[in-house]
Amino acid sequence: MATTETPAAPEGGGTSAADIAKLAIAAVLLVAGVVGYYWLADSALILRVLCVIGGALAGAAVAWVTTPGRQFTVFASEAVAEVKKVVWPTRKETIQTTAAVFAFVVVMAVFLWVSDKTLEWVLYDLILGWKKS
C-alpha cells in the first residue's frame, strides 16, 4: 500500500511550489475583497466592508495552511509569550523617568541657548564688530 503524504518544503527551508500557489490564491482572495468593495459602490456600506473582511479572512485562511503561514503562526505565538514575560515599569518609575527626560531637555535647551548667545556675541561683536542697534 502506498501512502499519500503531502510533500514537505524543499531542503533548506524554502517554499514549495504548492505553497507559492496557495499564497498566490490568498493574495487573489484579498484583492477580490477589495475589488468587491469598489464593485459594490451602490450597495450598503456594511456589505462593502463585509466584502473586504471576507476576502481578508479567506486569504488568511488559505495562507495559514502553507508552510510560511504555519511558521508565522508559531512565530506569533512565541512573540506573544515573550511579551507576557516583559516586566513593565510601575507608575512611579514611569513618572520618575519622564521627569528625568524633561529635566534633561530643559538643561540642554538652556545650554544650547547660552552657547548660541555666546557664539553670537563673539562673532558679531568681537570679531566682526557688528554692533546691534
Tally of domains in the chain = 2
Domain that holds residue 68: 17-85
Residue 8 lies in a domain: no
Which of 64, 85, 106 corresponds to the end of one domain? 85
Which of 45, 70, 85 corresponds to the end of one domain? 85
Asked if residue 69 and residue 25 are part of one domain, the reply reads yes
Residue 118 lies in a domain: yes
Q: Quick check: 64 and 96 in contact, CB under 8 A?
A: no
pLDDT digits (tens, 9 = 90+) for 57-103: 999 999 999 999 999 999 999 999 999 999 999 999 999 999 999 99
For residue 125, what pLDDT is reported? Answer: 86
Q: Which pTM does this prediction carry?
A: 0.51
pLDDT digits (tens, 9 = 90+) for 25-70: 999 999 999 999 999 989 899 999 999 999 999 999 999 999 999 9
